[in-house]
Structure 1
Amino acid sequence: MKASFGLLVAIISAQALGTAMTNCAADERILFSCAANKKTISVCVSPSALNNSYVEYRFSAAGKMTFSYRADASQPKHLFQRVHVTGASSASTIIWFENDGYVYLMNDPIKGRPSISVRKDRKTITRMECTGKFAGDTDIVSPYIQEKTNDEYFNLLR
């Protein structure tokens, strides 16, 4: 399986080089990727915005893919959301998607460590801080990422 081989190569390369762990293939752009609690969480973007473009969340544990969520032309209801939240002394870019009643949030703050949260019924059920090196460009543009306002984001949390 190509995805599994690419994942294995990315993990071995990251361990050897001391760089961020990622589930993204070498030709994909990394929107968000880090290791947390012996898991690797990545959001990968297709190498180009051509007809086969996509954005895909990938979650792996011990080098094995356990969950993925893909937004592409064949799944028009699958979308990622993004907001840039600013406060008095900090700012974050937050990317999220909803799947089967769960909300998956990736937070890239200016201060502190990036983190991943999973919410259900408006309550956080899992939160993990990135413990390894972070990789990504959370400002990558894609037709499968919708920009949201702060109000829309905070309404999600209420």
Structure 2
Amino acid sequence: MTEPANQLTLTDTVIRNATLPPGKAQHYLHDDKLPGLALRMRATGGRTWVYLFTKPGVRGTQRKTLGAWPKYSEKAARKAATIAAGEVVKGLDPNDPKREARRQQAAEKQRTTLAALIVEDGPYQMSLTERQVVNWKPAMSALRRGLKDHAESGVGDLTRR
């Protein structure tokens, strides 16, 4: 990885006073003490701590999002970046747990059937009542009538049509 020209010690004061260069949608401020730790500034005003790394045998730089600033402090970001750096040194991908969780969530979505979702006092009905949806009874009735032919289909199989 080439050394970025915008390296400085990232502190809350430096981050608070940093501005996005004109005409840019995003900009990274790189920390000079911990290689790979950077603050991603966006045109929307959002600032996020990231750890930038390269995996052996893979072209390009990978990014692991650590957390949003100021909710995620400089100290916490340094600790998380150090952990991620240790994983990279061991040959692991710091993004693997997140990728695996997303894969499991998609698999669970495929396994859930409409019949289980729209059953009386089922998870969807409970969700509607917890969110205090006013017309939940007619909505559930319409879903039960409209989806009864597709009751054994997976939720992930649904499309707007």
Same fold by TM-score, threshold 0.5 exceeded?
no
Higher relative contact order (CA 8 A, sep 6+): 1
Identify, as 1 or 2, the structure richer in helix: 2
Identify, as 1 or 2, the structure richer in strand: 1
**CA radius of gyration, larger in:** 2
